[in-house]
Amino acid sequence: MEKLGNPVSSRRFILAFAATFALLTALLIPTHFAWGSIADDINAWLCGVLRDWCNWIFAAQTDVMRSLGATGVLSAPFETMLTSAGDVSMYDIARGVWQVAVLPIGCGVLGLVFTLKLIEISQRMDGSQSLPGVKEVVFLLVFFAVFLFLIQHSFDLMAAIYEVIGLAIDRVEGLFGTGGALDMTAVSIVTADDDLSALLALLIVAVISWLVVLIAYIVALVVCWARAIQLYIMAAFSPIPLAFLGFDQTRQIGLGYLKSFGAVCIAGLIILILLISFPVILGGIVAVNPGTGTPIDAIANGLTYALQYLAMCILLVLSLVKSGAWARDIVSGF
């Protein structure tokens, strides 16, 4: 029995030894675990989604600002700056007020100015009705006829001044368009990196800047609409300041009115320039790299770029608010 048992025990020992040796050999072979590849794929997918969201948000912001250009209030004709769903528009109201209420007042002011000028001439004339005095009276009649024509067509004259600035707005739009789209992959270093933390930080600032751009859009609409209403109101009351142009003591009132009306018109061109240059300026922003050679560089790149973008959005809001003051500064130099 012992002779029969030894070969069987030997085979079992050999099989156990071979199995143990194969297991240990398999443990020593270098392998790549599947979970590492899955983690990289998930990270790349999340970064791609965040990058797409950031690029979409920034591109949508510039699209919103461009919507105020060619098809907006800025370049609309004087009659349709503010449209209406009914039969009566703001233009009809302003022209009606001008014709029914303000024009008679302007003619009355012109008559008063004519009377004052006539009294002034009569004081310089002698009792013999000399020729120089008669010449001044003739000039006064011509003056009255010219200013009466200006007052009776003052609303159309103000519309013509607006159309001149509108022609400049159309030419600027034809030259530069309404602003180019912002390509984040071309201007932001962080969008080329699969750094999840940097893209999360960029997304947060992108959402904040989106809110700021919405505020800028609302401010731009309010400024444009307020400009249109101001132009209509100023055109409706134009006969009164134009009537003061004929008298030396009140001429500054009429000149100040013309400068103010021109400044309001020029403000539209300034607003258009701001909206066109907004994506152009953003395209020149670069991220600031601390150069530490560590993963913090990517986060710093994203944050510095996004914060600069946010600062530019705030600057756009302030510039839109100040556009009227800038236009008055321009006109005051004339």
276, part of any domain: yes
Tell me the C-alpha distance between 188 and 305, whole Å.
7
Residues 6+ apart with CB under 8 A from 228: 73, 81, 82, 90
In a domain, 176, yes or no: yes
Task: Give the separation between CA 209 and CA 312, rounded to whole angstroms.
Answer: 9
Is residue 3 assigned to a domain? no
Residue 5 lies in a domain: no
Specify the pLDDT at position 184: 47
CB of 287 within 8 A of CB of 305?
yes
Residue 172 domain-assigned (yes or no): yes
- 170 Cβ contact partners less than 8 Å away, ≥ 6 residues apart: 75
Q: Which two tokens stand for residue 39?
A: 């983690």
Per-residue pLDDT reduced to its tens digit, 47-100: 778 777 877 777 777 677 666 554 567 778 888 888 776 788 889 999 999 999
Domain-embedded: residue 189: yes
Q: Which of 50, 153, 108 is nearest to 243 (CA)?
A: 108
Q: Does residue 302 belong to any structural domain of this protein? A: yes
User: Taking the complete model, does pTM exceed 0.85, yes or no?
Assistant: no
In a domain, 290, yes or no: yes
CA distance 124 to 30: 116
Domain extent, residue 208, equals: 51-332
Number of domains the chain is built from: 1
Per-residue confidence of the chain (334 residues) as pLDDT tens digits? 444 455 555 667 676 666 666 655 655 555 544 444 676 677 777 877 877 787 777 777 767 766 655 456 777 888 888 877 678 888 999 999 999 999 999 988 888 888 887 777 777 665 555 555 667 777 778 888 888 898 999 999 999 999 999 888 888 877 876 555 454 444 444 455 666 777 777 777 778 878 877 887 888 788 888 888 999 999 999 999 998 887 777 888 889 999 999 999 999 889 888 878 877 777 666 555 444 455 555 556 656 766 777 788 788 888 888 988 999 988 886 6
Q: Judge whether 314 and 212 are in contact, CB under 8 Å.
A: yes
